Amino acid sequence: MISDRIIEQGTLTTDGSRASVEVRLPWYRALPGSCIGQAQLTIDGVEAPVDSLRWRMNGREFTFAELSSNTEEWWFPTDSAVLSGDLAIDGDAEHEVRVDLTVYIPYIIIGDGETLHIEENSTKTMKAVAA
Amino acid sequence: MTASELGTPIQGVTLYSFTRAFHGREYDLEGLIRKVAAEGYGPGLEIIGFSSFRGFPAIDDRFAGEFRDLVEEQGLVTTSLAINADIGIHRDRLLDQDELVAYMTRQIEAAAKLGFPIARVQISITPDSMERLAPIAEKHGVTLALEVHADQYASHPRILALRDRYEKVGSPYLGFTADWGATVSGFAPSALEAYRRRGASEELLAKVVELWDRYYEQGPPADQAEHGQRFGSFIGLAAQHGRSDLGIDFGINGTGLFGPARVDDWLEIMPWIRHVHGKFFGIDENGEEPSVPVRDLIRLLVENGYSGAVSSEYEGWHWNNWQDAFEIVRAEQAVQRSAAENAGSRMITDAAEARSALAAHLAQPVTR
């Protein structure tokens, strides 16, 4: 697994009320939206409200509920996705960014029909750029 | 071919070995293929569809043509396209076998279009579904080689059930991919080093090794339930030492990557082995693989007349971010070649010879 690469350095942006960061797949092969589970975006120790989180990939924005049933849009291993949420942070300042991400591995079935999931996280410090 | 004739396995590599370089955008697909050719890691070339081809399994004609031209120009030979049995693709339910057969069919068509004579398939496909896929494989000229991967192993009940069905069906298009991760002889030292770098104590690491060694002595798990118990025991061990964060990783590696079957277990399915994943995890200071018995595995293949492909499959990249995967693969292939020579044979490294040997290997009827 490649959890050290989840957060793309230098990609934190803010528009005053929302913050976003680019994230990379911590796995070796493309996965569809349905295999992208929960995410958390935490900046300087403050977690973005779960309902406010959005996921952008392949030029489209999704809620996590929309992702959960989507088997058409795939996250390719060399593409960055964008995770955003309601967090008011200062532009032009250093911030500690943490991303937690759960992905399901659709060909590994453990126990009673349960699909293996992996929970990864990464923390990086970077300067925010005003959007 | 008679059993007494020595095999000449075909050297090759899967691009999976270079996952970090591709994922890290150091090489794109074309660059990686050129690198494999330039460094002499071929001639065999294996690729994972969902890793390397954007939009897979949809492959347009123009792309397929360019890909085949590139492979030929570079003097490589496509061996296996690794395709996935994504039975858990929906969050709320598993695919039924009708859906899974359809899901696999699209990928088999992609393998044919890209010029791969073998498609590596996976364990969730039942014997019934493999039987249903046989005519589809035949129509497209693609051999289906179901991967025997830890926590399964050749003599595992699920694998024997597949073997027995293959025997009944009698199609040369149904076989297995033997993944050497099923027959590992120790917990990979490079993985232990990675845990050390994450602050795991020497005491904990010694216990992990001790636990794995105990399972090696006992042999591979009899069934899914025993596998689950072992997985849980690694999690428990981590928790006892205050490192619950490492527990799942110990479990995944200790049971799903480092399978404790013996090398000669492969004899249970040898006539149906159409492809081999030369799974390994690292190379030590003596130039040997410390936890995968590569030399014994190559000898077994040679002595049993195997002249199919062996894809070097380096999987230490999961945790080893301090050594160069390209150099590690180079060293492991040297071990393979040396082992083949010690067994009185050699590895095939010439593309034309590899192409004809692979065609003959795949056309061979199964005789026990």
Per CB-CB distance under 8 Å, the chain A contacts of B19 are 2, 28
pLDDT at B1: 44
Q: Which positions 57-96 of A are in contact with B (Cβ < 8 Å)? A: 68-69, 71, 74, 76-78
The DSSP string of B328-352 is: HHHHHHHHHHHHHHHTT---B--HH
Per CB-CB distance under 8 Å, the chain B contacts of A75 are none
pLDDT at B204: 98
Tokens of A18: 């929302």
pLDDT at A5: 87
B23 is catalytic: no
Q: Is residue A58 part of a domain?
A: yes
pLDDT at B4: 61
Q: How many CB atoms are closer than 10 A to CB B327?
A: 11
Domain total in chain A: 1
Distance from CA of B134 to the nearest CA of A (A): 21
Q: Where are the domains of chain B?
A: 10-183+261-363, 189-256
Average pLDDT, chain B: 96
pLDDT (mean) for B306-319? 97
Q: Which fold has domain B10-183+261-363?
A: TIM Barrel (3.20.20)
Query: Is the CB of residue A51 less than 8 Å away from at least one CB of chain B?
Result: no
pLDDT (mean) for A82-90? 97
As for the ipTM of the complex, it is 0.95
Query: Rounded distance, CA A34 to CA A72, Å?
Result: 9
Per CB-CB distance under 8 Å, the chain A contacts of B90 are 34, 69, 71
* Residues B124-151 pLDDT 10s: 999 999 999 999 999 999 999 999 999 9
- Residue A88 pLDDT more than 70? yes
* Residues A51-82 pLDDT 10s: 999 999 999 999 999 999 999 999 999 999 99
Distance from CA of A65 to the nearest CA of B (A): 11
Query: Rounded distance, CA B49 to CA B111, Å?
Result: 8
Q: Which residue in chain A has the smallest CA separation from B22?
A: A78
Q: The domain containing residue A48 runs over which residues?
A: 3-126
Per CB-CB distance under 8 Å, the chain B contacts of A30 are 50-51, 54, 56
pLDDT at B3: 43
- Residue B222 pLDDT more than 50? yes
Is the Cβ–Cβ distance between A82 and A13 less than 8 Å? no
Q: What is the dihedral of CA B132, B134, B135, B137, to 10 degrees?
A: 130
The share of chain A scoring above pLDDT 90, in percent, equals 85
Q: Is residue A131 part of a domain?
A: no
pLDDT at A1: 62
Q: Of the candidates B16, B85, B89, which has its C-beta nearest A71's C-beta?
A: B89
CATH of the domain at A105: 2.60.40
| SS3 (DSSP) at B4 | coil
Question: Which one of the listed residues B140, B149, B275, B277 is annotated catalytic?
Answer: B149
